[in-house]
Amino acid sequence: MSPSPFTGRVWPVRWLVTLSTLALTVVVVASVGAIAERNTRRALTDELTARLREQASHLAYVGRSALLAPYPELTLHPILRTIRERQPEWALAVVTDRDGVIHGDADARRLGQRFVPPSDLTPWSDANGISIAESPRLLVAIAPIVLANGARAGTVYLGLERGYFDAAVNATRRSLVLALALFLAVGAAGSFLLTSRLLRPIGPLREGLERIGRGDLTTRVAIAGRSEFGRLAAAVNAMAADLETAQKDAIEKDRLAHEMQLARRIQQSLLPATQIREAGFVLAGWQRPATEVSGDIFDTFRLEDGRLGVAIADVAGKGLPGCLVTTMVAALLAALRDRCDGPADLLATMDERLSPKLERGTFVTLFVAFLDPRTGVLTYASAGHHPALLVRAGGEVLKLSAPGKPLGTDRRQGVRATLAERSIPLEPGDVLVQTTDGVHECESEKSGEPFGFDRVSAGAASWALAGPTVLLDGMARAIEQWRGAAAQLDDETIVVVAREGEHADNGCDPFAVPLERLAEAEARGVRLRLPATLEALVRIDDWLARLPDFRERDEGGRERVRVALYELCANIVEHGYAGTAGQTLSVWWTPGIGTGFYVILDQGKAFSVDNREDPDLGDPGVRRRGRGFGLALVRRAASRLAVHPGTARGNVTLLSFGPSERTEVTEKAA
Amino acid sequence: MSDTIRISTEDRPGRITILRVEGRLDARAADLLEQRAKDVAAEGRNLIVNMKGVTFIGSSGVGLMLTLTEEFREQAGSVRFVELSPPVRAVVELLQMMDLIGVDASEDAGLKMLEAA
C-alpha cells in the first residue's frame, strides 16, 4: 500500500496562517498610519498658520512705529536678523513700505530694493486682515501695516519653510514604522506558535491513517482535547474498529466456506465411485445436494456372502448438521451390513446405535435392499422411507412399500418392532428406482407444482430400457428442467437396481440393439433424408438448426455434432456408396436417451470402426497423408458411437453427445 | 447458405501471401484451397491463411492444415493460420492440434511471426 497518495508540494498551515496575519497587520497599521499622518499634518498646519499670523501681526505692529520713524531700517533690520538667526525655519521675513521698498530684511544688502514676492505664491486663506499664501516651498503670511488714521503704511511678509513641518511629519512617520515593525514581529511569532500548537494533532492522525491504510487495523489514534481534531480522531478510531470487525467477519466467512467445501469433499468420498455390475445386474446412484453438503446419502455395496446391496437415506435436516448425521449413517451401514441377517435387522441395529447419538427431533428415513444375484430375489426394508418404484420390463410400474418408523423416532423401545422385510424377484428388464423427498417434491418454477411420483415413474419407465446411466442422467435433466430457474430447496438423490433385459448381450447398453433404436427413431424421431452426394451434406446444417437438442448446446457442443455427422455421412458417400448415383441415406434425431441420440441408416458397403486405429497426429507419415482422421474426429466429438454394419435394414450407425462432463466421466468409469 | 468457398489472395512485401478463406471448408473446398496454397509455395513465398470466414471445417480441411504446415516446413518456409473462426477452433481443439500448427490471433500477429522467423 502506498504511504500517501499526496505527492505535490505541501503548504504548511502554520505558515499560511502566519503570513495572513502579517499581511493583515501591515494593511491595518498602514491605514491607521496614513489616517494619523493626515491628521497630524492638518493639526500642524493649523498650528503653524496661527503662529505665522501672530508673528506677522506682531511684526506689523513693530513695523508701524518703525516706518513712522526717520530710519525704519535701524529698528527693523536687527529685529529681522535676530529672527532669522534664532529661527532658521523663517525663510522669509521682510517689511516694505507702501511702495514695496524693503525697509526691513535680515540681509542688509537688500534694504532699499523693491520687494518682489515669490512668483508661485497662491493665496490660501484670509483672516483678521492677514492673508496666508503658499508655494511649494513656503507658507507665507502677508500682514498690512496700517496707520491709526487707517492709511496703509507698508506690508510685512513672513514665510515659513515647508520643510520644517515635513520634518515633523516624518518624525511621526518614523515612530509609526518602528511601532509597525514591533507589531509584526510579535504577531508573527505569536500566530506561528499558536497555530503550531493547534495543529500538533495532525502528525499522529496522518501516521495513524497511514498505518490503517497499510492494513494495521488495530491502530488507534490517541488525541485528547476538545478541538475538532479530538472528534476526528474518535471518528478514525471508530472506522478502524469497524474495519477490523468486518475483516474478521470476512475471514471467518471464508474459513467456513472452505470448511464446507472440505466437508463436501469428505461426503462425496463416501459415495460409491462406480456402479456395481454383476451377473446381469447393475446398481447405481446419483446425487445433487441443495447446499454445499447434503442431508442425503446413498451407497451401493457387495456383501461378504455374495449378495449385492443398495441403501438410500434422508436425514431430517440438510446443510452441515444433516451432513454430519449422514456420515454417521454411512459409517454404521458399512460397519453393520455384513453382521446382520437382512435389511430389517440392519435397519433395527442401526437405529439402536444411532438413536442415542441423534439430537432430539432429528430422525433418518432409510431404505435398504439386498439382492441375491443367483436367484434375482430382492429383499428390502424401509425405515419410514416412501415406497420404491419397480418398473417391469413390460412397462408396468409397481410401488414397493414396507412398514417401519424412521430411525431415531422411538428412543425408548427402538423401531425394530415396527420394521418388516418384503421380497420380490427381479425379472430381466426390471428396474427398481428409489429417491429421496427432494426429487418428487422439487417444485416447478412456472406452476409451483411438485415433480411428483407420477413423473418419477414415467421417467423411469421411459428410460429404463436404456440402462441405469441414461436413466439417471435423464432423470437429473428432467428434474432440472422442471425446476427451471427456481432455487433447489432440498437434496436430490436417486438409486437404481436394474436387471438387464434378455435381448441385451452387452449390458444395458441401448446402442447394442440397433434395430430397436432404429424402430424408435422411425416412430418418434426427426428425419433427414439425403441423396448420397457430398454437395447434399450441406443440408445437415439446416436440419440441425431446427433440433431443440442442437439449439440448447453451446457453440463448441454444436460444432461437435455438426462435424461428427458430416464426417460419418461423407464417409458413407465416399466409401460406402463410392459415388454410386441415385442412392440415399437417412439421419434421425430421437429424444429419450440422455439428450437424445442420432441414427444414420445407409445401404452402402459396410465398414467397421473397430479395426481402425486412431491416427497419431504427431507421426509425420499420418500428417503427410493429411486425410484419414475423419473417424478420429467423430470418436472425439461424440460421447458414444456404435456402428452396426450389415443389419437386416442396412448399416446402422448410432451416436450420442453427452450433455455434460459428468455423463462422460460415469461412462468412462462404467 | 454458405455452400460455396471463396478464397481471396493478397500479396504482401517480404515474400508473404495472405489467403482469406470464406465459406464451408469441406472435402471439395479443401482441394481448392490446397491448390492455391501450393501455388504460393511454388513461388517460394510464405503463407498466411485467414480463417475468419470459415463456417464449417471437416477432417479434410483439418488435414490440409497439417499437410500445409509440413510442406512449407520442408521448403524452409512457414505457414500461419490466423483468426480461426469458432467452428475451426472447436475442431482444432477437439483434435488437440494447437501445438502442431502455427496459429495467431490476427494477420498482423501472423506477419510478425513470419518476419521474426
Instruction: Render pLDDT for A434-444 as a digit per residue (tens, 0 to 9).
Output: 999 889 888 88
A194-201 average pLDDT score: 83
Q: Do A624 and B67 lie within an 8 Å CB cutoff?
A: yes
- In one-letter notation, the amino acid at residue A195 is T
Q: Are strands A152-161 and A138-146 parallel, antiparallel or unpaired?
A: antiparallel
Residue with cell 425405515: A383
Q: Which of B60, B91, B100 is closest, CB to CB, to A627?
A: B60
Residue with cell 507698508: A154
Which stretches of chain B score pLDDT less than 70?
1-3
Q: Could you tell me if A88 and A60 are in contact, meaning their C-beta atoms sit under 8 angstroms apart?
A: no
Q: Do B63 and A626 lie within an 8 Å CB cutoff?
A: yes
CA dihedral A229, A230, A231, A236 (to 10 degrees): 80
Q: Do A570 and B27 lie within an 8 Å CB cutoff?
A: yes
Give yes or no for residue A660 having a pLDDT over 50.
no
Q: Do A535 and B100 lie within an 8 Å CB cutoff?
A: no
Which of A544, A562, A635, A657 should one mutate to test binding to chain B, selecting the residue with the greatest count of B CBs within 10 A?
A: A562
Map A1-16 to HEC letters.
CCCCCCCCCCCCHHHH
Is ipTM beyond 0.90?
no
Q: Could you tell me if A223 and A205 are in contact, meaning their C-beta atoms sit under 8 angstroms apart?
A: yes
Q: Which of A538, A567, A633 is closest, CB to CB, to B1?
A: A538
Is the CB of B31 inside 8 Å of chain A's CB atoms? no
pLDDT, position A662:
30
A174: left (phi over 0), alpha (psi -120 to 50) or beta: alpha
User: Around Cβ A586, how many Cβ atoms within 10 Å?
Assistant: 17
**CA A546 to CA A65: how far, in whole Å?**
145
SS3 state of residue A540: helix
pLDDT, position A380:
96
Give yes or no for residue A81 having a pLDDT over 80.
yes
Residues of B in contact with A559 (CB under 8 A): 86-87, 90-91, 94
Instruction: Render pLDDT for A602-647 as a digit per residue (tens, 0 to 9).
Output: 998 876 554 445 555 555 544 444 446 787 788 888 878 888 888 8
CA dihedral A359, A361, A367, A370 (to 10 degrees): 30
Give yes or no for residue A505 having a pLDDT over 60.
no
* Contacts of the segment B67-70: beta carbons below 8 A, 24+ positions apart: B67/A623, B67/A624, B67/A626, B67/B34, B68/B34, B68/B37, B69/A623, B69/B100, B69/B101, B69/B102, B70/A620, B70/A623, B70/A624
A415-442 average pLDDT score: 91
Q: Do B56 and A541 lie within an 8 Å CB cutoff?
A: yes
Distance from CA of A536 to the nearest CA of B (A): 10
A246-253 average pLDDT score: 91
Give yes or no for residue A3 having a pLDDT over 70.
no
pLDDT, position A373:
92
- In one-letter notation, the amino acid at residue A359 is E
Phi, psi of B106 (to 5 degrees): -145, 165
Is the CB of A614 inside 8 Å of chain B's CB atoms? no
Map B39-74 to HEC letters.
HHHHCCCEEEEEEEEEEEECHHHHHHHHHHHHHHHH
Residues of A in contact with B62 (CB under 8 A): 629, 633
Instruction: Render pLDDT for A266-276 as a digit per residue (tens, 0 to 9).
Output: 888 888 888 88
Q: Could you tell me if B95 and A629 are in contact, meaning their C-beta atoms sit under 8 angstroms apart?
A: yes
**CA A599 to CA A512: how far, in whole Å?**
13
Instruction: Render pLDDT for A118-169 as a digit per residue (tens, 0 to 9).
Output: 888 888 777 778 888 888 888 888 988 888 888 888 899 988 888 877 787 7
Mean pLDDT of chain A: 83
Band of pLDDT at residue A200, cut at 50, 70 and 90: confident
Give yes or no for residue A502 having a pLDDT over 70.
no
- Output b/e per residue, A250-286; b: 16+ Cβ within 10 A: eeeeeeeeeebeebbeebeebbeeebbbeebbbbbbb
Which of A530, A617, A625 should one mutate to test binding to chain B, selecting the residue with the greatest count of B CBs within 10 A?
A: A617
pLDDT, position A614:
56
Q: Do A555 and B90 lie within an 8 Å CB cutoff?
A: yes
Give yes or no for residue A60 having a pLDDT over 90.
no
Is the CB of B98 inside 8 Å of chain A's CB atoms? no
pLDDT, position A425:
93
Q: Which domains does chain A have, with CATH numbers?
A: 13-169 (3.30.450.20), 271-499 (3.60.40.10), 510-669 (3.30.565.10)
User: Around Cβ A559, how many Cβ atoms within 10 Å?
Assistant: 23
Which of A633, A641, A657, A664 should one mutate to test binding to chain B, selecting the residue with the greatest count of B CBs within 10 A?
A: A633
| Global confidence as pTM | 0.44
Is the CB of B38 inside 8 Å of chain A's CB atoms? no
Distance from CA of B55 to the nearest CA of A (A): 10
